[in-house]
Chain A
Amino acid sequence: MVEKEKYNLLLRSFDEDLDADQEAKLKEALSSSEELRTEQEEILAMRNMISSQKASFKPGFTDRVVNKIKEESHLQVIIPDFNQTFFSVFKKVALTGVAAIIILLFSIYYSSSRLGVDTIVGDPYSDDGLVSYLLYDDIDE
């Protein structure tokens, strides 16, 4: 059975730079233990097996990606066009509305010489008038 400490040292040696002391310890352990040497060979073989893995996508990968990008860019051209049209129409409608409100307010001010909620919403009762109306509802009779 390989000592845990030596085995860990062996595992670490594949990916880390061991210090001089650890390196000497591992070297000594490898020369004295056949089991550890076997472990080393097995790990190396396994790592080679993994690193020699070849992988590829199905043929035509580049074309598929480029086509997707083109489709996406085409969509992006259409969407801003729609947005642009929508916002330019909305802007015109909004500006016309604001202009109409200003003209309306101005005409109210011009005709009644004052600008208040009453004159805008057309409430015929001023505060004083309302009190008179409530107290003497037959005032006109």
Chain B
Amino acid sequence: MKDLLGFGDLELIELSRKGDDQAFGVIISRYEHQIARTVIGMLGDTDEAEDVGQETFIRFFRSLDKFRGDSTLGTYLTRIAINLSLNELTKRKKTLSLFYKRSKDKETMFDIPEPGDEFERSDKKEIVDKALQQLEPGFRSVVVLRLVEGYSTKETSEILNLPLGTVLSRLSRAQEKLKEILVPLMK
């Protein structure tokens, strides 16, 4: 296993195509955290996020022969992860709509703690996580790619297959909403 750690992505992919499990294991270890940030950003720290994370690598494994290296492996995997997460959110929405009728009032899915001590005590990670969950999936995916993953706006638009203008406007609106939630807690 140690010998493989120094291998480049393309070499590891080539070995995986030939059936080398260890090489594929190195790929997973290398991108596990990046995919975790993406799917947990999209779905929250849930069991579904783990399932989608696993499915991302399984889908990639199934389509190893299709990978041509036009984009980096990280971007390729992120694209799969985002699409699977969006599918999962659609499924979740359909399931929820069977049991939950949306109230006419502004929907709040979690209690935002009062600024000050409460925030100090709260898990910062959890708060950010929940704040992200307040965004509509289309806005959330833009924030996750741009702010969490650090992709440029152009890369974000390519991954999501959206016009750059749409990405910028979603980013701007999402930031305003996040600012509304998070800034009072930071004071």
Which residues of A approach B to under 8 Å, CB–CB? 8, 11-12, 14-16, 42-43, 45-47, 49-51, 53-58, 61-66, 68-70, 72
Contacts and interface: CB of A to CB of B under 8 A. Distances in A.
A72 B21 CA distance: 13
Nearest to B173: A11
What secondary structure prevails in chain A residues at the interface with B?
helix
Nearest to B184: A42
Interface of B: 21, 24-25, 28-29, 32-33, 36-37, 40-41, 45, 49-50, 53-54, 57-58, 61, 124-125, 128-129, 132, 143, 146-148, 150, 153, 168, 171-172, 175-176, 178-179, 182-183, 186
A11 B33 contact: no
Given A57-B53, A61-B28, A50 B128 contact: yes
Is the contact region of chain B dominated by helix, strand, or loop, or is it mixed?
helix
B176 A11 contact: yes
Contacts of A58: 50
Nearest to B19: A73
Given A46-B182, A53-B129, A66 B21 contact: yes
Contacts of B132: 50
Contacts of B57: 65, 69
B148 A51 contact: yes
